[in-house]
Amino acid sequence: MKENDSIPTYDPNEAPVMDTNKIYEWLPHRYPFQLVDKIIKLDDEEVVGIKNVTANENYFQGHFPGEPVMPGVMLMETIAHVGGIYILNQLDEPSRYTTYFVKVNSCKFRKMVVPGDTLVIKCYPFAPFKRGLAQMRGDAYVGKTKVCEIDIVASFVKNR
């Protein structure tokens, strides 16, 4: 597997590559499942997205309410959304396709994510796209601390 261990940096003063409106055009998710706030880097090698974790996220009401922690499945789904943007960017007409989270090959949660954290998520492929499938690595950071790493498989399907 190709390793890409550089920690992405985030400067909130720089304009994003994609804002929430553009992300809405590419991903069919709406509240409460629009999990990516902005894309700050997008090229042929990788994508970097931002998720601002706020106390008003609906899952914090029931997930350790006295000591809120972002559920691991929501963290994995957020990483998959960023990876979906990467996949769609590789296609000629991204708005004509939908990406689906198919499989988790491995996942490690390294540190809890809590309200107030800003997730910086980097995804990149570790194999060529084949038969409508993309194999990707996703790394999520809070500051310089890696909080999650995941190897996923996603499919991309032309819309009907």
Closest residue by Cα to residue 10 from 50, 46, 42, 52: 50
81 classed as catalytic: no
Closest residue by Cα to residue 60 from 71, 45, 44: 71
63, 71, 102, 126: the catalytic one is 63
Q: What is the dihedral of CA 28, 32, 155, 147, to 10 degrees?
A: 140
The H or E element spanning position 134 is strand 133-142
Q: Which residues are catalytic?
A: 63
